[in-house]
Structure 1
C-alpha cells in the first residue's frame, strides 16, 4: 500500500522536474508579490534575499576559467594564467548575462547587493601563507566575494575579516541590521590535495576541517544579522586526473598543471585518500548544518547542499585548459544551474549525483517555494 506521504513526495518530485524546464532564468515568470515580509528564517523566499556574500577558494574566485588561446600564440605570456574571473563565478558572479546563482537571485530580487564583477590578477591565500600583499582584495570588483585562490578551511576566518566590514559598508544602500542575507560557502578542494602535504596535514584533517568551518559558521551567526548560510559540500577532486590524463586539450604551459597543484596526484593510493577525506569532510558539513537548522522565530540557519559531481561525466573543456584542474566557464555555468536547482529541494529530494548536462534546464521557483532552512 502506498502511503499518503509517499504520494506527496512523488508528486513534489514530478513537479520539480516539470518546473526545471527553461533554458534561461530570464524565461521564468516573476514571483507574485509577498503579502507580508518573511516572518522568520523558515519563511524565506528567494526574493527576500537583499545581500549575498561568499567564502571559498579559487573556484569561488573564478580562477583561470576563461582559458588560453594557444593557437593565437599567447602561451605563458597571457595574464589568463594568473587571473580570476570573479564576475562569472558560479555562485556570486554579477557580470551582465553571466550564468550564476547571483544573477538568478537578481531575477527575483533586482536590487540584491554583493555580487563580484569583472576580473583581476589572482590573490593567493594558502594555509599559513595568507596576508598582504599576496592576498590583496579589490573591493570594487570583489564586493562580497571573499574567496581566495589557494584557500583551505583554516583561511575562512581571514576571509570573514574582509567580508564582514565590507558588508557593513553597504549601509547606505541596504540595511545591515534588517535585510535578509545569504552567504555561500564552498571550501575543501585544496584541503583534499593538501592531505598529502606533510607541512599542512595537521590543518586539513577531517576534524580540523570541521572545526574551522564550524568556527566560521559561529562567527557569521554572532556578527551578521538575519542570514542563511548556503553550505555546499565538497566533491571528489581525484576525478580530475583520469579525465585529463594524456588528453591533448591539456597543453603544458610550463607554469601550471593539475598534478603540480595537487600533492596527492602522485599515486592511486593518494587519490583514494583524497576521496576518503572528501567523504569525511562532508560528514562534518552535514553535522554542522543539522546543528543549525532554522527554527520558528529565528533569524539564522545553515542549509547543506551536497556536491556529488561526477567528473567522469564532464567533457574535458568543462575544465580550464590553463591547468586542466579548475572549472572553465562551461563548468561554472553547469555548477551554477545544478546548485540553483537543488536550492529549493528538501534533503531527501536532492540528487545523488551531478552528471554533466550540456544544456541543463533551470528551475523556476514559485510563490510557494521557501528556502529549505528548517
Structure 2
C-alpha cells in the first residue's frame, strides 16, 4: 500500500472519529463526492418543518409602518409596492438552498434548510400578521407577509430540489452560473403548473445569488472565467426577460470568497470542509491569490456593466436590479475584534447559519428600499431599517430612483 493511501486512510479515520462524517479531505478536484453528499435526500418522503429545538429566535425590530397594496394591480414594475408582490422565488446554489442553516454538526450541512433561506424562506409564517414584527427570523417572504399575508412561493422546513416544501426555491447545492437557466426553466414550469399561481398576472420577486462555486473551483473549471461566468448569468436573465411577465429580479453580487474561505482555519472540521468544496480559494501562492481576487472583482464589475447597459429595461413590467449588500461585507468579529464570530456560519464555517440568514435578509430588504446609486454594499449589526412609506412606497428600480 502506498504512503499516500496510508496517509489518506489515516486522515479519513481520524475525521470520522472527530465528527462522524464529511470532515475529510476531498481528493476529487471537482468535489463530486462532497456535492453528492450535500444533495442526498433525508430519509423521509416529506421533509418536516423545523421543530422547536431547531428554531433560534431573534429580536428583530421591524419598525416599518404598514402601507396597503396599490388600489389596482400596477402595470409598471417601477410602481411596485411590497404588498403588490404575490409570488417570491429564487435561483442559486447552496446559500439560497439554506444548506446547514440549522445544522448542529458538519453532517447537517447536507440538509437544505430552505425555510430559513434569507431570500425565499418563510418558516416563521405563524408569527406574522399586520400587527406583528418580523420578530423571529428576518427573510424577504416574512417581511413581505406584513404587507400581503397571502404572498406565495416561499419554502418551508428541510426540502430538496423539487420537493413539495421547496415551492419556488429552485436553488440546487453545487450550482454554478451555467446551471441557472435550467433552474429558471423549472421555475417557469412550476409557475405554470400550479393553479394557485397566476403566471400572467401575479407580480413576482425573483432573487438570484450565484458565483461561490465558480470561484471555489476557478483553478479546475474553465467556466469560472469571468467572461464565461458573465455570459452564463446573461443567459438566465435573457431567458427571464423573454418568458416572465410582471417580474422584479434581485441580482445579488458576491462577497469576497477569499475572506470566507479563511474562516475557521483553527478548526479541523472546517479546514477539511473548505479543502473539499473550496479548494482553489485556499491556494497560497501569490499568482493564485491574485487570480482569485481578480476574478471576484470582475464577477461584480461585469454584472454591474451588464445591468447598467439597460438590456433589461425594454419592458415596463420587467427589471433587473443589482442588490450589492454583500459586496464589501466582511465576516463579523467577536468583541476582541480579532476572532471571527462563527455563529453567523454553519458548522462548515462557510455557509450561513440561521443567524447569518437572518441578517442577510435584513441587508437585502434594506437594499430593495434604497435608491440605485445609494445602496449599502455591506451589512452590519444594528443598522437602521429602510422602509417603504406612503411618500416613497415602491421598490427602487433604476428608473424610479432618478425620477
TM-score range (shorter-chain normalised) is: 0.7 to 0.9
**How many Å separate the matches in 2 of 1:169 and 1:362?**
37
Aligned with 1:329 (options 354, 357, 367): 354
Tell whether the 8 Å contact from 1:178 to 1:225 is kept in structure 2 after alignment.
yes
1:272 pairs with 2:297: no
The aligned counterpart of 1:66 is 102
Q: Secondary structure at the match of 1:252?
A: helix
1:34 pairs with 2:70: yes
The aligned counterpart of 2:114 is 86
Q: Give a deviation string over 1:170-222, Cα, whole Å, max 9, x none.
A: 3x22321111111100101111111111xx1x211111111111110111111
- For the structure 1 residues 59 and 253, does the alpha-carbon distance in structure 2 shift closer, same or farther, using more than 3 Å as the test? closer
The aligned counterpart of 1:188 is 211
The aligned counterpart of 1:288 is 306
Q: CA offset at residue 369 of structure 1?
A: 2.6
Aligned with 1:339 (options 339, 344, 364): 364
Q: Secondary structure at the match of 1:23?
A: coil
The aligned counterpart of 1:134 is none
Aligned with 1:302 (options 320, 342, 346): 320
Q: CA offset at residue 169 of structure 1?
A: 2.2
- For the structure 1 residues 294 and 108, does the alpha-carbon distance in structure 2 shift closer, same or farther, using more than 3 Å as the test? farther
Tell whether the 8 Å contact from 1:293 to 1:301 is kept in structure 2 after alignment.
no
1:245 pairs with 2:265: yes
The aligned counterpart of 2:168 is 144
Q: TM-score of the superposition, structure 1-length normalised?
A: 0.79
Matches within 5 A, 1:1-374: 23-25=60-62, 27-68=63-104, 79-96=107-124, 97-120=136-159, 137-170=161-194, 172-197=195-220, 200=221, 202-246=222-266, 250-252=267-269, 257-264=273-280, 265-269=282-286, 270-292=288-310, 298-306=316-324, 307-314=326-333, 315-352=340-377, 354-357=378-381, 359-367=382-390, 368-373=392-397, 374=399
- The range that moved more, 294-303 or 228-237, is 294-303
- For the structure 1 residues 346 and 293, does the alpha-carbon distance in structure 2 shift closer, same or farther, using more than 3 Å as the test? farther
**How many Å separate the matches in 1 of 2:316 and 2:205?**
15
**How many Å separate the matches in 2 of 1:236 and 1:221?**
29
- For the structure 1 residues 209 and 33, does the alpha-carbon distance in structure 2 shift closer, same or farther, using more than 3 Å as the test? closer
**Cα RMSD for the two superposed structures:** 2.3
The aligned counterpart of 1:129 is none
Q: Secondary structure at the match of 1:84?
A: coil
Q: TM-score of the superposition, structure 2-length normalised?
A: 0.73
Q: Give a deviation string over 1:38-96, Cα, whole Å, max 9, x none.
A: 24121111111111110001000000122325xxxxxx6xx513111000001000101
Q: CA offset at residue 371 of structure 1?
A: 1.6
**How many Å separate the matches in 1 of 2:252 and 2:245?**
21
Q: Give a deviation string over 1:245-292, Cα, whole Å, max 9, x none.
A: 22xxx35289x5123211221215323322211111112211222234
**How many Å separate the matches in 2 of 1:232 and 1:321?**
21
**How many Å separate the matches in 2 of 1:291 and 1:107?**
34
The aligned counterpart of 2:13 is none
Tell whether the 8 Å contact from 1:337 to 1:361 is kept in structure 2 after alignment.
no
